[in-house]
Chains A and B, each alone.
Chain A
């Protein structure tokens, strides 16, 4: 049997059985760990275990018609637990999801709008591309915008959509700029030239849109000289590492959390303001399960004077997804209409149960998702949501 290179991008449903990944899928013993750990496993008509069974039986069309994969929030939980090491979330599920997407006759309206906006305006919120760096006007420290000042920069900060446009995301921007400035980092942003990195389009099944966005962004990176790419987006970080690197991205990639954690010795003496918070940290799937970044955000939080860190019942590799991945960010209405519990609500109930004052996050989707969920479960007066960078910036001397 010919063995094709194990590049996930080269695998299709047709050549699957001729790849090492296909051989792993064939080794599935139908143990059901994947379906059991899937946050929507109980409502998904065809959870991962059954999808593999149906695929082997040549019954994939039934799975595609069921639209089961619309409930896949690409949280990497199934892939993380598979005893056979099947790369479910990386290979098989995106292939099935792509076909589900192509055959979708009635696309949920919010998802359609988000994808159309991403294609047309470079952001799912449908905001003006020209206003992408408007938040800079509200920053107390200078932020260099590369298209206006093209000289080389050490750090290229890829801000990402929800960070750049959402009012709470802009708090993250101001905090990040303040931290970079305090550390003396030579940094710059892409301003209005930046567009969505595209990971959520890919994980929704809109691979054509993802290709269009990666082509654009790779060309854009080629225009400027920089040594390191740092992004506020957990999904952007994930896609830069796993998708852009194989497409030729040369520079090292950091998420703001890993970047700051690697400079903790320099940062810690500057964190002088005592914050008397009990904090629980939610692991974003794209950083934690997919990239093993569990300790860095916790070390940053513990470096803040006065912060007491407590863990939720499900934490680290067992953390429950916020429900925002794989297009889930724009499927809340769809899930609710089907009577499914919103994962963000399930998660904040666990957070409230810890007795913490602050739910700390590290992905730009989570701030608005959890703040909304706290309102709907009635926990709004008990807990606030803060990005790790917001807490660090708060602890900096003014």
Chain B
């Protein structure tokens, strides 16, 4: 299997490390400039491509580690070239685009995987397994928390541009929208409040979203770019009628480093995992296996589309101040 990676930011670096742990061959990297792609190309003894068109004839799989606003065009190109695709989350900026992306992949008979990496973090995967075992019963309420700091200026500052990233709800909370759906099933109704919707000048952003699932479960999603760097806290509570699961990153961190440093915090907060295998590598290995052996992965393209759907409903709710039914979003997609 020959893989080409597009985008060489922190996610390109992370995915490349994952691919290196599989039998697949990394053919090369493509970035906005050859200078950006050069270090990874050198590290993995592979090529620098100056465009996706130049890369496509030489690879079997395209891994898109690019900003969200570029996904649609790149997925379409790769699909039309008959390549299987890994796409970073969120799949697309809006539901309509996501649906079209799924359609083109289906039409061209290529596979599309959306990198919702949270499903591959062992604490999240284990909690899902406990719920699925049925031994703690049915989820009544779920809390999912994810808060770090505002991403610093990256290339083109696309993270902070709502038009390019979809903002906090689509870029960060989408992880937990997907996880909530994985645990409690499809979502019926979404209500969200967001600091930047109330005060566009706010130096931080923070959003609280209540999801009502079709089975009645209530999920509360906290997403924030509000803490001073380098703080990043995640956590969840899954409260079921026969038991509860609680996890908090701050409480279970096995290592606390209290060392003076002049080092600056990273541009974008990432959770440290203290694991032998990075969850990103677990993810890439599973996608590799799914493609190679024609198997399902734990996250499908439909999951990726539905996560966008919930995020879109949350963004709409935060703007209009009213709850938004997911059914109404389906209407927009059709």
Bind each other = no
- Using a CB–CB cutoff of 8 Å, the interface residues on chain B facing chain A are none
